Structure 1
Amino acid sequence: MHQASVLCMSNKPRIQVYILTGFLGSGKTTILNHLLSSLKGSRVTVIENEFGDISIDGSLINQQLSQVVELSNGCICCSLDEDLYDVLTELAQSELPSENLFIETTGIADPGNVASIFKREDVSKVFELKRVLCVIDAETVEDYLKQTSELHRQIIGSDVLIINKIGLVDPTYLSSLQKILNSMNPFADFVTTEDGQFNFELLEKSQTRIVIPKPKWSLLGRFSHQISTTSFSTLLAFDERELLHALTVTLMLYYKQVYRIKGFVQVKGRSEKFLLQSTGQRLTLEAIGSWDSDQRLSQMVFIGIGLQHQTIERILRPTFANGLTKTDVKLENE
Structure 2
Amino acid sequence: MKLQSKVRPQEKIPILILTGFLGSGKTTLLNYLLKNYQDQKIAVLMNELGDLDIDSQLLVQVDQNLIQLSNGCICCSINGSLVSSIQELIEREETINLLVIEASGVADPLPIILTILGTNLRDRCQLETILTLIDAENFLNALEESEVAQKQIVYGDLLMINKTDLVEEEQVLMIESKIRQLKREPRILKCQNSVIPLSLLFNPHLAGDRFESLMEELQINHHEHHSHSELNDGFQAVTYERTAPFRIRDFQLWIDQQMPRQVYRAKGWLWLKESYQRYLFQLSGTRITMEDDTWPGEQKTQLVFIGRNLDPNIIHHQLDQILIREPLNL
Q: TM-score range by the shorter chain?
A: 0.5 to 0.7
Aligned to 1:284: none
Distance 2:53 2:171 in 1: 34
Answering whether residue 67 of structure 2 is matched by residue 60 of structure 1, we say: no
Structure 2 counterparts to residues 1-334 of structure 1, below 5 A: 13-50=11-48, 55-60=49-54, 63-65=69-71, 66-71=73-78, 82=81, 84-120=82-118, 122-203=120-201, 205-206=264-265, 207-208=283-284, 209-210=286-287
Contact 1:35 1:198 in 2 (8 A): no
Distance 2:162 2:42 in 1: 24
Contact 1:135 1:162 in 2 (8 A): yes
Superposition deviation, residue 93 in structure 1: 2.1
Amino acid at match of 2:108: D
Amino acid at match of 2:186: A
Residues 1:167 and 1:104: Cα distance change in structure 2 (over 3 Å): same
Superposition deviation, residue 58 in structure 1: 2.8
Contact 1:34 1:199 in 2 (8 A): no
For the aligned residues, what is the CA RMSD?
2.3
Contact 2:45 2:99 in 1 (8 A): yes
Amino acid at match of 1:60: I
Aligned to 2:235: none
Q: Deviations over 1:242-297 (max 9, x none)?
A: xxxxxxxxxxxxxxxxxxxxxxxxxxxxxxxxxxxxxxxxxxxxxxxxxxxxxxxx
Distance 1:176 1:150 in 2: 19
Amino acid at match of 1:145: L
Amino acid at match of 2:168: D
Would you say how many aligned residue pairs link Structure 1 and Structure 2?
189
Distance 1:199 1:34 in 2: 11
Q: Deviations over 1:105-160 (max 9, x none)?
A: 11111111111111135211100001111110001001111111111111111111
Contact 2:136 2:171 in 1 (8 A): no
Q: Deviations over 1:42-75 (max 9, x none)?
A: 111000113xxxx432343654442010127xxx
Distance 1:103 1:69 in 2: 10
In the superposition, the TM-score normalised over structure 1's length comes to 0.52
Amino acid at match of 1:194: Q
Partner SS, residue 181 of structure 2: helix
Distance 1:58 1:203 in 2: 20
Amino acid at match of 1:118: I
Residues 1:136 and 1:24: Cα distance change in structure 2 (over 3 Å): same
Distance 2:93 2:50 in 1: 30
Distance 1:178 1:190 in 2: 8
Contact 2:179 2:186 in 1 (8 A): no
Distance 2:197 2:91 in 1: 29
Distance 2:25 2:46 in 1: 14
Partner SS, residue 136 of structure 1: strand
Distance 2:102 2:130 in 1: 10
Q: Which runs of 4+ in 1 moved over 6 A?
A: none
Q: Deviations over 1:207-266 (max 9, x none)?
A: 32448xxxxxxxxxxxxxxxxxxxxxxxxxxxxxxxxxxxxxxxxxxxxxxxxxxxxxxx
Gaps of 5+ in 2: 1-7, 59-68, 203-263, 266-282, 289-330
